[in-house]
Amino acid sequence: MGKELYSYKNKGDVKHKEMKSLSGVYLKDEADVEDESGSGMMFPIMLIFPNKRRIYYFKDKDEKTRWVEAIKSCIGYSNLLDFYDLGENLGKGKYGVVKLGTHKRTK
């Protein structure tokens, strides 16, 4: 809801267990891992809050994708690669490699 993430103890509960504000949160994709039983895969993401980190695991890759897109939308996520195509290296600057960038056309 809005910029808050609510969690519940049991599916169908009316009262939430806790609420976390997503303001100032960063989203990090984590590598897929085998579940504890060794019978399948889990698909994690990390939410980096101002004072803590939390890893959330999904049983289904599509469910993870839906959550990631919803969280990105909520926190106003954007990526340089969404707006620019990076090409050849032009040289090295004070803070790293300098690449040729061309602006992507919006539809």
- Residue pLDDT, tens place only, 8-59: 899 889 999 988 888 888 899 899 998 888 888 999 999 999 889 999 999 9
Do 21 and 2 touch, CB atoms closer than 8 A? no
- Residue pLDDT, tens place only, 62-89: 999 999 999 988 888 877 777 888 888 8
Q: Say if pTM beats, i.e. exceeds, 0.85.
A: no
| φ, ψ at 15 (rounded to 5°) | -95, 130
- 64 burial (CB, 10 Å; 0-12 / 13-18 / 19+) is buried
The residue extents of the domains of the chain are: 4-79
**Quick one: pLDDT at residue 98?**
86
Using the Cα atoms of residue 23, residue 25, residue 26 and residue 28 in order, give the sign of their dihedral: negative
